[in-house]
A and B are shown apart, each in its own frame.
Chain A
Amino acid sequence: MAVLLAAFLAIAACSGDPGASTGAAPADETSAASTPQKGGEITVLEDSAFAGSWPTGLDPATNTTGGANIAMMGAIYGGLFLLTANGDGGDAKVTPNQAESYELLDGGKTVKIKIRRGVTFSDGTPFDAEAVVFNLKRNLGATCTCTPKWPLVKDGIDVEGGDTVVLRFTRPYASVINAFPISNVNWIVSPTALKQLGDDKFRVTPVGAGPFTVVSNQLSSELVLERNAQYFKDGLPYLDKLTFKSIGGDQAAYQALLAGQAHAYEGMNTVPLMEQAQSGGRLTVTMQPPTSPYVVQLNSKATPFDDERARQAIYYATDFEAIAKGLFKDRFPVSQSFTAPGGLFHHDAVPGYRGHDLARAKQLVQELGGLNVELGTLGNYVAKQVMIALQTQWQEAGITTTIKDYQLSTLVQQFNSGKWHAMLQTAGAWDPAGGVGVAFRFASTSPFSGVADKALDDMFAEAEGTVDPAERDAIYTKAGQYISDKSYAPFGLAFAPTNLTAKGVHGPGLTTRIPPLVVNSGVLWDEVWRSQ
């Protein structure tokens, strides 16, 4: 009877199969990748639930979702610094872009950033130290999770010698440069254009010095950009036109790419679709190196998790290895700390980490006389599935678990209320000190932390201020060990989103690996090109 429906779905299913158009993908990639071509245009899709949502506009000082919109922000503003890596995501480092160089002085208490000469905004006005200082001051007062919390001394931002910006901190703050690419201070707007247009117009049609300029911008829907003729890098950008479109979900985006109406999709989450895209051979699938592991935050400031035994029970009841295998087909590694293989300071294991041990979990629950937990997460497809899997595992250990998925605004309220028990989140970043880094989830000052522990706060501050990478590594290792010993929050698999691109589209961060800054990788849009 339902042959009709079945037939439709059968046709639908076939269309995702390899089909005739597989082609010799690897050969095509290597030969073409070496010789970028100029011209052409591409349409990039962004998930409407995350990067495809920019309701407050694209001015770094007023965009509250800047951390999600790094693709658009990067295309319009470029950036003082960029995170670059070799093709497979190795040797990742923050390199000066519109900045020319930087120096750390006084053991990290003073930072001097030299601005590149000869850069102009797309409106023709000069991109100089004055403009940068104007922007830094403006952006530091912004309301975005991408606003860095700099421990500046009073009037700590200055111009020196016409082309150098000086930052003075109250304490050593060596990690400031690594945090640039994920914070709004990286994006410099033209002060002249801002004055001319006024705040409300500027946030729709902002003016920067990046590879592209804004043609039209329909908030959270479509952003059309064209080549910036005055871009400071010779011969770049390659593309004439770049369009960002917001789309509802991975399946719709995948289909639009197959149909040829779009050329790239950032941040695919859905594992079955990743597999299908990979086996289909019609699209290039680029898995980014993971930098942020899942973490089950436990609110150690309130019952039931103010009792260390309850937290231990969660550690023992949780089996992320099984989730990584069942839900993610072993595509992503499991972390025991707030770092992941694609980021800095990662170590595979934490000695003494409490792994899955059902018997001990049960025993602890019994000792406690039962354990009732409410587990929440931000409602996206992957997180919800992980949450359901955790619920199953915990219930096996006798922990009564109710689950709830939140929207961003309700999640914030829940955190602020202090009444939450457990939250499934991601922790860490490429550099644990930057962005939604480790302090965001574990420092006593963060509203999103379930931990208030002076010892941990001190470790984070010390690590932020340390210049020497080896020393920082030692401190973060110690912090990871401390979190594990105190059973503050079990870590899980380090998920990294995947980019889908049409054949013939190439670009660093899009078809090559660059460690993701917060969620998506920072694509270097000026070097994205398309074979004609």
Chain B
Amino acid sequence: MAVVEAPPVPAADADEAAPRARTWTRGLGVAVPAALLALVAGACFLAPLVLPVPSPTGGNILEAGLPTGSPGHLLGTDPNGNDILSRILYGGQTSLIVAVTVNLLGLAVGGTLGALSGYVGGAADTVIMRLLDVLIAFPSLVLTLAVAQSLGPSLTNTILALGFFSVPAFARISRAATLSLREQPFMAAARLCGTKGWRVLLRHIAPNIAPQLTTFGMLGMGVVIVIEGALSFLGLGIPAPAPSWGNMISQGQASLSATPMLVLWPSLILFVTVLAFNLLGESLRTRWSVR
């Protein structure tokens, strides 16, 4: 069994001389982005509880459009007089929830479907993949508008609509990764040893396709946050006046040249978050693939 546990550990470490330094750097590679994410999440979820942050909605209309650095409003106010910093913090809660939920949904449902399809093969594979092909070929715009106009915008509807489209994506990637694993020697060995299907999936396939799926998921975080904002053009997304980074950006673009800060601030925090997710994804992948 030990033979088939995993691919052999490569002896590729050219700089074998400094294994300690490498582990240390690798540790840092996870710690730094994780700390960054913790900081962002902490600021969004905890700061409003602890610090006297003004409400993100219901601002004083007479204080509308204040510039960055105004007293009491560090990042200024939006056209309705709401504090931008507060909107970024509260909006972050929504955006992070949406991004994480959508990607987890895609990962869990799509990843499983894809791995199953790729591993089992045959008719099941054909049926699953063709059904997913229908979903992939179905323009998201139509569904989005249908959901928006018949169910109305809300957090749940937004997550469902976005999740609906992340499932086939994860499934395809997971299947592709599984396919290329299927013919690997350790898989054949596992089969020969009579290991049960679900066990192979769980113990051999899942850890091996995890890196690719993780990379994709981490990339997906930013994409989901941005698309959530774009949905508000079509009547879906987080309904106003509640903030999200995406809808702050999409509202701000209406007067981008005159009030660039309305777009810049949420874009900046989005950048930091996406960067952290990316770095984290990369470090995790490096860890997993070099066992």
Contact = CB atoms under 8 A, between A and B. Distances in A.
A2 to B, nearest CB: 5
Contacts of B254: 249-251, 270, 381
B257 A254 contact: yes
Nearest to B275: A1
A325 B267 contact: no
A388 B257 contact: no
B257 A403 contact: no
A303 interface: no
Interface string B267-285: 1100110010000000000
B255 A389 contact: no
B75 to A, nearest CB: 14
Given A323-B61, A326-B63, A407-B149, A6 B255 contact: no
Interface in A236-281: 249-251, 254-255, 270-273, 275-276
Interface stretch (B112-120, B162-170, B190-198, B258-266): B258-266
B65 A272 contact: yes
A13 B240 CA distance: 26
A326 B61 CA distance: 5
A95 to B, nearest CB: 38
A389 B61 contact: yes
A5 B260 contact: no
Find the residue from A249, A326, A403 having the highest chain B CB count within 10 A: A326
B253 interface: yes
Interface string B59-100: 111111100000000000001110000000000000000000
Given A388-B240, A392-B80, A12 B260 contact: yes
A275 B253 CA distance: 16
Contact of A13 (B59, B64, B253, B260): B260
A366 interface: no
A9 B257 CA distance: 8
Contacts of A12: 256-257, 260
B39 to A, nearest CB: 14
A442 B58 CA distance: 30
With most chain A CB atoms within 10 A of its CB, the pick from B61, B241, B267, B272 is B61
A323 B59 CA distance: 12
Contact of B59 (A249, A273, A392): A392
A515 B43 CA distance: 51
Interface in B203-258: 235, 239-241, 253-258
A170 interface: no
A531 interface: no
Contact of B271 (A2, A275, A384): A2
Interface residues on A, range: 35 or more
B273 to A, nearest CB: 11
Contacts of A6: 264, 268
Nearest to B58: A392
A13 B241 contact: no
A251 B65 CA distance: 17
Contacts of A251: 253-257
A392 B255 contact: no
A25 interface: no
A5 B271 contact: yes
Nearest to A275: B258
B152 interface: yes
Contacts of B241: 388, 391-392, 403
B80 A327 contact: yes
Contact of B258 (A2, A273, A384): A273
A379 B235 CA distance: 9
B80 A16 contact: no
Interface in B24-79: 57-65, 79
A250 B255 contact: yes
A16 B256 CA distance: 10
Given A9-B263, A12-B257, A275-B258, A327 B61 contact: yes
A392 B57 contact: yes
Nearest to B62: A326
Interface in A19-45: none
Interface in A393-412: 393, 395-396, 403-405, 407, 410
A505 B39 CA distance: 54
Given A251-B257, A254-B257, A270-B255, A1 B272 contact: yes
Contact of A2 (B59, B239, B268): B268
Contacts of B267: 2, 5
A276 B65 CA distance: 14
A153 interface: no
A407 B153 CA distance: 13
A363 interface: no
A410 to B, nearest CB: 6
Contact of B264 (A9, A15, A276): A9
A463 to B, nearest CB: 35
Interface in A191-206: none
A229 interface: no
Interface in B152-197: 152
A385 interface: yes
Nearest to A392: B58
A302 interface: no
A327 B61 CA distance: 7
Contact of A15 (B59, B257, B271): B257
A342 B167 CA distance: 55
B264 A16 contact: no
Nearest to A387: B240
B80 A273 contact: no
A389 B79 CA distance: 10
Contacts of A388: 57, 80, 240-241
19 contacts: A5-B264, A6-B264, A9-B263, A10-B260, A13-B260, A16-B257, A249-B254, A251-B257, A275-B258, A276-B255, A322-B61, A323-B61, A326-B64, A379-B235, A381-B254, A391-B241, A392-B80, A393-B61, A405-B235
> Lowest 7 A-B CB distances belong to which pairs?
A326-B61, A272-B258, A272-B255, A276-B258, A326-B64, A16-B257, A9-B260
